[in-house]
Structure 1
Amino acid sequence: MSSNTPSNAPKNNANATAAEGEHKVSNFLRQIIENDLEKGTYSQRRWAGTPGDAAHHAAGQPDPAKIRTRFPPEPNGYLHIGHAKSICLNFGLARDYGGVCHMRFDDTNPEKEDTEYVNSILDAVQWLGFQWEANGQSHLFQASDYFDFMYRAAEYLIEAGHAYVDEQTGEQMRAARGDFGKPGVDSPFRSRTPEQNLARFREMRDGAHEDGSMVLRATIDMASPNINLRDPAIYRIRRATHHNTGDTWCIYPMYTFAHPIEDALEQITHSICTLEFEDQRPFYDWLMDRLCEGGLLAHPAPHQYEFARLNLTYVITSKRKLAQLVYDHKVSGWDDPRMPTIVGLRRRGYTPESIQLFAERIGVTKSDSWIDYSTLEGCLREDLENKAHRGMAVLDPVKLVLTNWAEAFGADDYTEDCTQPALPHH
């Protein structure tokens, strides 16, 4: 890893931070952050130097970071231009408001993740000009380091009557879930006592049951108009070797359960994600409320905010479809210049500055829209205008003989320097 990347350390005072952010185009996320800073929403937070539960942070010092954001990719592929927008947004907001952005791997799905992708993601973030060192500390984390706490949180939910082990088949659960016009039906296992559920969950942990035979579900409301609140699954049995924890676990948390906990343990203030997670926000808040009530997590809890993802014309940004192109050998690899991956754009000649300019120029909104690819190309041209040396030459010139050279300049050996500017418009 390079150590020459720009610093993401917080500014020394609020005035300096505000002054730096003045030239930035405002958007709803900046307005939210500025309002929180003005009200002191997170001013009483403490930071123990590493992620941890409520007791861990209570023993720490006042947080030197005014805000904390995070960039949390799953290491199951190479990052693309859509991820670049999120990188620039999260790291940029932390930089502009005296905060810290965490680099975190959401590695809760062991079957699809690999250290190759971990390394490629770290390289892409640094190439774009960002890093995770601040206040003399590294803020590079991975969700799998929190598996012990996630399991502890799951047991707390069971003991408090907020979770139960369901042994229905996947088809039965889907049928009982209902739809937008029909409420769900309670599972026959929903009425088990906390003691029964705890014993069953520990059997899941100990490998006593087959993959897919049961799941741990949150006890919320099977009649909720938001289907995501109809007792969502939060743990499943999955025998798979994890790239970080090996075979320590045979149960793994679901993403919707793990992500809020990761944010809280890291004292994230503004959890920024794309609009497809908007319907999951009520569960995010429900889980934060339950775990803060139990004293497991510190107040104030993180809050989730959603923005529209990048839709670029003529470009595929589905990681699954991009992977298919690689696996079917339709392209030479993830760094094929035709690919919209960051490594592909880099190999094609795009610069980090041009991608940062693009991310700033397209802005941040709550509504989906399409950005023409020419906007990205225009940002590259603008960045290269005063960087890329170029000239024009005549490869097959017509010879011209000046017969009055000596008469015009008074000497047969007179020479005239001819120059071509390296930057024509500079």
Structure 2
Amino acid sequence: MLLRCSKSSRKTVSLFCRYISSSSSTEKHSCKVLVVGGGTGGCALTAKFSRTLKKSDLIIIEPSSEHYYQPLFTLVGAGIDKIEDTKKNEKDILPENCTWIKQKAAHFDLNKNIVTTANGSQIEYDYLVVSTGIIPRYEMIPGLVESLQNPKIGVCSIYSLKYVQNVFPTMQTLKSGNAIFTFPASPVKCPGAPQKICYLTDDYLRKEGKRDNVNIIYNTSLPVIFGVKKYADALWKICKERNITVNTRKNLISINPQNSEATFQNLDQPEEKTTISFSMLHVVPPMSTTESVRTNKELCNEAGFVEVDKSTLQHVRFPNVFALGDCSSSPNSKTAAAAAAQTEVVFENLEAVMKGKKMPLKYDGYASCPLVTGYNKCILAEFDYDLNPLETFPFSQDRELWSMFILKKNVIPTIYWSLMMNGHWNGPALFRRIMHLDLFKKRQ
């Protein structure tokens, strides 16, 4: 028998079905290990645990469908690589032996061991690893978002998927005037990148025969050009040779897009502000952890980072909670290389905690920053918590080398996709020990 419904009845049925659909997406889950964040560290750690836990015991929360290898964004901005070269589908990165909840974490209740997602789903866990990274906060600089939305103004940034592809066209149209590059007064991911795009712009202009008409300025909020003196000395020399002006303790506070002017504050004398015109302005925005992380006082310190012991990466108040990568309060340089080293520490230490044993590993603050200084040159900076060089190769790495550029462009991305995302790469510590003939040194 064929039933016919009125238009109003069909609308009611449609609304009811929509209600049922939305209600069914709000679920309750439980697991042994919950990883929040499917970026570099989260994916690598999940891959490791997927070999020791059942699928139902391992949950990862990540809202994104696509995974980007962000260290290549600098080369995308310089026209060397394409954005497609940096991207893979998240489903192809995550291991099959885990449960992926494609939602955004909205609230952490550390006392009840529950994370609630944006759609209201709740995940109860025995152990939690927070690996949510940090995010660019373009809105914090007046005039910046408006400027970025109009490519003709000359403002660009490599730190966002939305804006990175405008950087090279901006370099191409640059003919004269001031090209200004900034470093903000906040922690940033890949802190060497603001200089890399500066050096690449200089090299590009020289190749195009336009460098003499452009004044390149690097304004950093930091008191130094780079935190590790060995590499800082090399970078100061490069800037002097290439006529790049470096101003320390200068922080971008606003942009006037109508007049193409940028205003900087002297952080040593806050009342002193300087406004300068530009033809190109590359902005690194302030960065912070996600809102759900930084606003949670139980989870974070006053700066908004997950408060962990810098050696064990275990939370200082909740022993069943760890943090990994850029969202952590550990005072290391925030790089993918640091996340690789941290992944092994978190995995081994969390497994020990789960078994009631003493945590075996300590993170030494290792980070690596391949400082690209031209279209075929790179200085490979590697260092620890104390800003002492911690170099992998058996030669001094404070030199511009073509081999290090190839390492940055081709070798490290291959390691990232084929080894780290499968949980098999913990950084170059083993290779360093081999190359420096201390293979049998006791692991710390």
- TM-score norm. by structure 1 comes to 0.28
Specify which structure has the higher proportion of helix.
1
Specify which structure has the higher proportion of strand.
2
Between structure 1 and structure 2, the one with the greater Rg is 1
- TM-score norm. by structure 2 comes to 0.27
